[in-house]
Amino acid sequence: MNRIKTDILVIGAGSGGLSVAAGAVQMGADVVLLEANEMGGDCLNYGCVPSKALIASAKAAHAQRNAAQYGVEEAPGAVDYAAAKDHVADVIAQIAPVDSQERFEGLGVRVIREYGRFISRDEVQAGDTIIKARRIVIATGSSPFVPPIPGLDEVPYHTNETLFDLREKPDHMLIIGGGPIGMEMAQAHARLGCKVTVIEGDRALSQDDPEATAVVLQRLRAEGVTIEENTKAARVGGSAGSIELETEDGRVFKGSHLLVAAGRRANTAELDLEKAGVQSDAEGVTVDAGLRTSNRKVHAIGDVAGRLQFTHVAGYHANVIIRSMLFGLPSKVRMVQIPWVTYTDPELAQVGLTEVEAKKKHGPGLEVVRVDYEDNDRARAERRTTGFIKVMVVRNKPVGATIVGYQAGELIGIWALALANNIKMGQIAGMVAPYPTIGELNKRAAGAYFAPRLFESDMVKRVVRFVQRVLP
């Protein structure tokens, strides 16, 4: 058995773990990184990167079939599904070197390609190596949650971990789950020429603003996606190429392929957390505001920490703990400025409080300002006028923003900046945005907050009339 000592041991080479390892080693710490599976974790290999690459293929096909509105002759948009998956693989291959073992070893990180299990409060065994560390970071991510639906274990099905290896285009894809993954893949596959049915036990995209999700769902349904909300799967049967899904109300949906997109669960089962005195629950490892566990030597970040499960959150967590682990400075997570995006077309983005949440928290002190895409000249030029920006404001400060529409994921950034830095609406209204851009919508939303104060105020009008009389 080999024994080594290190300053920082990182368990998991996903986005959060890699950020910690790269930052810590370049600032002088001795770092060991454990990863038994693919470097880059879920995001690079099974999540963000491949899904957005497949969505890009789907958009290209859709654009060919809908070109007449731009004065361009439409084309069938014939899809080579296997070639689209080649595109996905190529995108992964282009990004992979940034997350590779070779790169991190070049930075000075010792990389061990084994699972890690705690054997004491400050020791982890990985294969035939025992690592004793001053600080340990759990960054093991999450895996697809497979619900206990009768018959599901007897039929072939896909999750995001297997979907991107599929080379044969499905005739009819059944999707269990109407969250972001389910809806993104539903629209992508519909645009790639598949029939798609989504079965969702609750409201589709239930974590988002209902008014905004209605815009997305209307578009998906218009493109041919069948979405059955408040419909729970009761049983699954059939065989490869012929899947049957029966719902609790007795209906039966038939398809050629099945995708399970029913959420995710934290990867904690193989860590032997109890041997390190690290507490956890069904949502993941229990952490405080500084992402420290019940064992003061151990931090947990990213999906395994049981908070918002997004790649950018894992990266943010890494920044928080590097500050405390390397410099001993107080550092806490602030979740208020964390945005999230569903990459359907139109996109759906949120940061801070939704309108419902803001009304509940702030009551009559809340003002909601709204601007529609159809009021933006660039959106008109692009024929992208579906959608709106809605900003929740309390005493001149935004407390949340909802955007549904073209490039919503790009637009939400300014509101995340505002929430992170207590920027007021007046400062955003004072920004000069280039014309014509979609980004003007953000400035217009800020201006909409002040419009009634300026244009509907008798006091303002009296002051203006007085100044006009006395000015030479």
Q: Which residues are annotated as a binding site?
A: 52, 116, 140-142, 177-184, 200, 263, 303
Instruction: Kindly report the number of other CB atoms within 10 A of residue 454's CB atom.
Output: 11
Omega before residue 346 within 30° of 0, cis: yes
Mark residue 363 as left, alpha or beta (left: phi above 0; alpha: psi -120 to 50; beta: remaining): left
φ/ψ bin of 224: left (φ > 0), alpha (ψ from -120 to 50), beta (otherwise)? left
Burial 214-235 (b: 16+ CB within 10 A, else e): ebbbebbeeeebbbbeebebbe
Residues that constitute the known binding site for FAD = 52, 116, 140-142, 303
Binding-site sequence positions for NAD(+): 177-184, 200, 263
d(CA 413, CA 337): 10
For residue 337, give both structure tokens.
């400025």
- For residue 41, give the nearest of 57, 61, 23, 20 by alpha carbon: 20
Q: Cα–Cα distance between 305 and 423 in angstroms, integer?
A: 29
CA atoms of 142 and 138, how far apart (whole Å): 12
Q: Is 147 helix (H, G, I), strand (E, B) or coil?
A: coil
Residue pair 63/223 in contact by the 8 Å Cβ criterion: no
Q: Return the ∠ at Cα 59 (arms to 436 and 340), rounded to 5°.
A: 70
How far apart CA 315 and CA 338 sit, in angstroms, is: 11
Q: How far apart are CA 45 and CA 439, in angstroms?
A: 32
Pairing of strands 233-239, 257-260: unpaired
Report the distance separating Cα 448 and Cα 161, nearest Å: 44
d(CA 13, CA 115): 11
**Side chain identity at residue 349, one-letter code:** A
Distance of alpha carbon 456 from alpha carbon 472, whole angstroms: 27
DSSP 8-state code for residue 158 = B
